[in-house]
Chains A and B, each alone.
Chain A
Amino acid sequence: MPNSRIGVYICNCGTNIAKLVDCEAVARFASEHPTVAITKTYKYMCSNPGQEMIAQDIHEQALDSVVVSACSPRMHERTFRRVLQTAGLNPYMCDMANIREHCSWVHKDAAAATEKAKALTKAAILRVERHEALDRFSVDMCPSTLVIGGGIAGMTAALELAEAGYPVHLVEKKDHLGGNLTRTDLTAPYLDSARDLITERITRVQENRNIEVLLNSQVKTLEGFIGNFTAGIERGSPQADGKNQIQVGNVVVSTGYKEFDAARISHYGYGKLPNVITSFDFEKMLRAGRIQTKEGRIPQYVAILHCVGSRSQEFHGYCSRVCCMTALKYVHEIKSAIPKCYVSDLYIDMHAFGKGHEDFYRKTSEVKTVFLMYGKNEHPVIRKADPKDDCEMIIEVNEKLSGERIEIPADMVILMVGMESREDAAQVARLVNISQDKDGWFIESHPKLDPVATTTDGIYIAGTCVAPKDIPDTVAQARAAAARILGKISRGKIEVDAVFAEVDETRCSGCRMCNELCPYSAIEFDEEKRRSRIISAVCKACGCCVASCPSGAIKGRHFTDQQIFAQIEGVLL
């Protein structure tokens, strides 16, 4: 047995554990085990006195490993590993038995809970007897970054990185920078020009010598791991150096969105009724400076229909977030261009969540917009008006606030089409090895605490490829992604956790089963040796490959067969 002087520490967690589990009995039980050198209980093991007590025992009792029976390792494993490290032990010589979440919090019978706590503690003792000292290692971090997508998000992230002094390769599929924002006239709620925003960004990107802008280009391959990616770029126009492979340390994915195809909703008549247009058709009209019908007349009645393709059972359940304020922006633009025009606004709910939005909504109602509310699963129907009517079209809908079925006159209907993930989003996700949710949006590492990172280290996401969002949120995400990358680059090296899987080349048959299974694409295949090889920097130690290998050639560090069998034996008492 490698470790034979184990310290066992039973935490009361105030009364969280002690109210049900007899901690003293668990301690007495543990102390009877031959390899246990010392056993202690304490009110709060994670507190400073608790930590100091363990550190002191390590010195005085010459402990070689430690078991802490307390809460979930997700909560405090880092804490106790640090205690071991400061006391001079390898941090991996520690194990935790979860006698709170798995025991006192979920059981009622005190005696049975105490028995279970004993079993869990014994499992940890038997496991820690077999723990091995593991070393963390570090790899070099390439300071270049690849940004995929040259919209407002991509350009902002690129500028942030480039201005900090690091090289950026900005790859854009189209022949110009700016993305979807170049199709917009003014922005809500302050009615600033989108063109001004985007021109400023483009100019700064083009002037910055640290940014290489690759237009008409696509990333075709991405290999390697954080700090050491190799990207294969397909360039639209052949460059002088002809270099199609670039080395980067991190990747920002900011591929944006596409708009919902309004023709999918047949009762809106998009494509059939000439004056039913989408918000993007209308933006085009605004940028051309003339609001008119297809026949060239100035509309007397304009109706704006919200949530086209959004918040519905048939199409997308989510809210596209920008359409409400964009619709209000249209009201202002229409009213300032055609003061005599009457604008009706058909909404499901008015989402005015952002800064200045509620004021903007109020201002819009003050210019006498006819706000009409319809139900979430209602189908407003647009039809041609009678020749005797003074309008082109009629929208028929059940108005929710009045409870009346109403007909709204319209010479022009603007459909507020929502955002959708792009058709090539799946391809991009596969390329950089990240996941998509049911709607096709890229998934963040943690929706609240880690919103721009992904489950693949070194790959960051920003902007509307993650979910619909407005310009301020997009810019904030882009800058957040850049900040995360700068933090990594500034250390020069990247530390890799010591817990990962390893292939024993002598036993690997080269069947490649593990290559396909790995959810993190962490396994390469060495064609020359015909052996699989795990990129330890990418491996998350999930154990899939370990379990699947028919030759038993893969070993999970810190999760060896012996350790796990010992743990099972311990649970069985």
Chain B
Amino acid sequence: MAIRVNPKLIDELERFGSEDVQNCYHCGNCSAVCPHADDMFVFPRKPMRFLQMGLEKKLERSLTPWLCYYCGQCSVQCPREAEPGETMMSMRRWLISRYDFTGIAKLFYMSWKGELAFVVIIALLTGVGLSAYGLSKGDIGIYDGPGAFLPSSLIHTIDLVLMAVLTFLLAVNVMRMWRFIMEDAAKAPIPFGLYLKKLYLLPVHFFSQKRYAKCDPENKNRVHIPWITHLGIVLGYFTMLVLIVLFLDRLQAGPEIQWSVHLFGYLASIGLLIGTVYVLYGRLKKSQVQHRRSHSTDWMFLWLLFYMVVTGIIQHLLHRAGFPEAANIAYVAHLMGVFPWLLRMPFSKWAHMIYRPIAMYFAGIIRESAALDKAPQRSTQYLQPAA
């Protein structure tokens, strides 16, 4: 079956941040320097070729953009300044918009004004709604417990509703991702057992980000700073998510410090703060190759995250310091960042937190199923003539 060429694809990807892809002449230097590319998953050269040729279907079914953590060595080595690193990044953005069945992600990526309007509207609705609720039902002087301005039970309910919506959206998107990637990834149907067997890869990659650690180009640093800061953001974010969803009432209790939960909260905040500041600083200074070019959605992601972290810390400090009114105002401000952030999630860069470990999981399955295909005992059962 022939694949249709879409000559417009290269222009479309430019809206997602790719640049100068047309300069590539396929020398393969990028794939040679990449610490992750191997015989089975060849990149960036191969997806670059798909993009140049406008093979939309092929690119949509590509797993390789997710295997790249953007160390930027490919872009440094590229003799034609075709920016393979940034191209892989733009492909991830494009894939997020492809996995999303609603089309909202595409809108956000194509129009920064649309995204900004969405965030501002949700933030204002949140601010107005929560203020109205607090002023009518609660007391601005009470932070926690009966009569609180924003009772934990209310926020908890909203959180759970949002979680349900997000889980539904992400589940559908992940199913689409599975279909795109696994449909023709293997020659023979993949046994279900293999899916179970490789399930352990999900937590391993999620919590260790160990492939990112390999991105240190010269392997000269004992601790690879971009990896550590990225890990700080991921683990900090995950910890905060667990704390808020499961232990919100204990988190909000006070003004005494609740060490059993707050200790984790502090550690998570440190991770998030350092990680966010490091990346923001990098993108502003453009000091490293992977931070040279920023898409509008990158800025939205980082500033929103930074805003949430800072307002969350301020709110916490004010509460503990005995200023419940100020703490309540900071809390509303904090939630004005959180709700747009959460609603934006399945349509944005944030979704890579889910897609990337799943991609590693799929890669593990594809790798093993290819090894099985080569094993002789497996092929014999297909030698039976069709009766």
Contact = CB atoms under 8 A, between A and B. Distances in A.
5 contacts: A362-B23, A366-B23, A370-B10, A401-B26, A402-B55
A405 interface: yes
B1 A399 contact: no
Contacts of B1: 405
Contacts of A366: 22-23
A187 interface: no
Interface stretch (A47-55, A246-254, A406-414, A544-552): A406-414
Contacts of B25: 365
B91 to A, nearest CB: 16
Contacts of A370: 5, 7, 10, 52-54
A257 interface: no
A371 B52 contact: yes
Contact of B10 (A301, A368, A401, A404): A368
A115 interface: no
Nearest to B9: A370
Contact of A369 (B2, B22, B49, B58): B22
Contact of B7 (A344, A365, A405): A344
B22 A406 contact: no
A406 B55 contact: yes
A330 interface: no
Contacts of B52: 370-371
A31 B46 CA distance: 78
Interface string A359-399: 00010011111111000000000000000000000001001
Contacts of A402: 49-50, 53, 55, 58
A388 B26 CA distance: 34
A367 B5 CA distance: 17
Interface string B222-247: 00000000000000000000000000
B53 A406 contact: yes
Contacts of A342: 7-8
A565 B189 CA distance: 86
Contacts of B11: 368
Contacts of B23: 362, 365-366
Nearest to B7: A342
B3 interface: yes
Closest 8 CB pairs of A and B: A342-B7, A405-B2, A407-B2, A368-B22, A408-B5, A407-B4, A370-B7, A365-B22
Given A366-B22, A366-B23, A399-B53, A405 B5 contact: no
Residue picked from A371, A372, A404, most chain B C-beta under 10 Å: A404
A301 B7 contact: yes
Nearest to B45: A401
Nearest to B8: A342
Interface string B35-50: 0000000000000011
Secondary structure class of chain A's binding surface, majority of residues: strand
B20 to A, nearest CB: 8
Given A342-B7, A402-B55, 11 more contacts: A343-B7, A344-B5, A365-B22, A368-B22, A370-B7, A370-B10, A370-B54, A396-B2, A405-B2, A407-B5, A409-B4
B166 to A, nearest CB: 36
Contacts of B58: 402, 404
Interface string B1-31: 1111111101100000000001101100000
A344 B8 CA distance: 11
Interface residues of B, number: 21
B1 to A, nearest CB: 7
B55 A409 contact: no
B22 A407 contact: no
Q: Name which of B3, B5, B25, B58 has the most chain A CB atoms within 10 A of its CB.
A: B5
A509 B54 CA distance: 78
B2 A409 contact: no
Interface string B54-76: 11001000000000000000000
Contacts of B26: 401
A408 B2 CA distance: 10
A401 B49 contact: yes
Contacts of A369: 22
Contacts of B3: 404-407
Nearest to B25: A365
B24 to A, nearest CB: 8
Most A CB within 10 A of own CB, among B4, B7, B26: B7
A337 B182 CA distance: 43
Contacts of B5: 344, 370, 372, 406-409
B64 to A, nearest CB: 14
A369 B11 CA distance: 11
Given A365-B25, A404-B58, A372 B4 contact: no
Nearest to B58: A404
A365 B48 CA distance: 14
A343 B49 CA distance: 16
Nearest to B10: A368
B326 to A, nearest CB: 55
A396 B58 CA distance: 17
A157 to B, nearest CB: 40
A57 to B, nearest CB: 66
Nearest to B82: A365
Interface string A10-41: 00000000000000000000000000000000
Nearest to B26: A401
A404 B22 contact: no
A426 B3 CA distance: 47
A12 B52 CA distance: 65
Contacts of A399: 53
A343 B53 CA distance: 11
B58 to A, nearest CB: 7
A301 B4 CA distance: 13
Interface string B118-148: 0000000000000000000000000000000
Interface in B321-365: none
Contacts of B6: 409
A503 B38 CA distance: 80
Contacts of A344: 5, 7
B57 to A, nearest CB: 10
Nearest to A361: B25
B265 to A, nearest CB: 50
Interface string B244-260: 00000000000000000
Contacts of A372: 5, 53
B246 to A, nearest CB: 49
B60 to A, nearest CB: 14
Contacts of B49: 401-402
B5 to A, nearest CB: 5
A402 B52 CA distance: 11
Contacts of B53: 370, 372, 399, 402, 404, 406
A46 to B, nearest CB: 50
B143 to A, nearest CB: 58
Nearest to B54: A370
Interface in A538-569: none
Nearest to A389: B4
Nearest to B1: A405
Interface string B362-374: 0000000000000
A144 B7 CA distance: 58
Contacts of A367: 22
A257 to B, nearest CB: 32
Nearest to B80: A362
B170 to A, nearest CB: 32
B69 to A, nearest CB: 25
A342 B332 CA distance: 51
A295 to B, nearest CB: 21
Interface string B155-188: 0000000000000000000000000000000000
For A371, A396, A402, the residue with the greatest tally of chain B CB atoms inside 10 Å of its CB is A402
A408 B54 CA distance: 9
Residue among A367, A396, A409 with max Cβ neighbours from chain B (10 Å): A409
A209 B266 CA distance: 98
Nearest to B24: A365
A371 B22 CA distance: 9
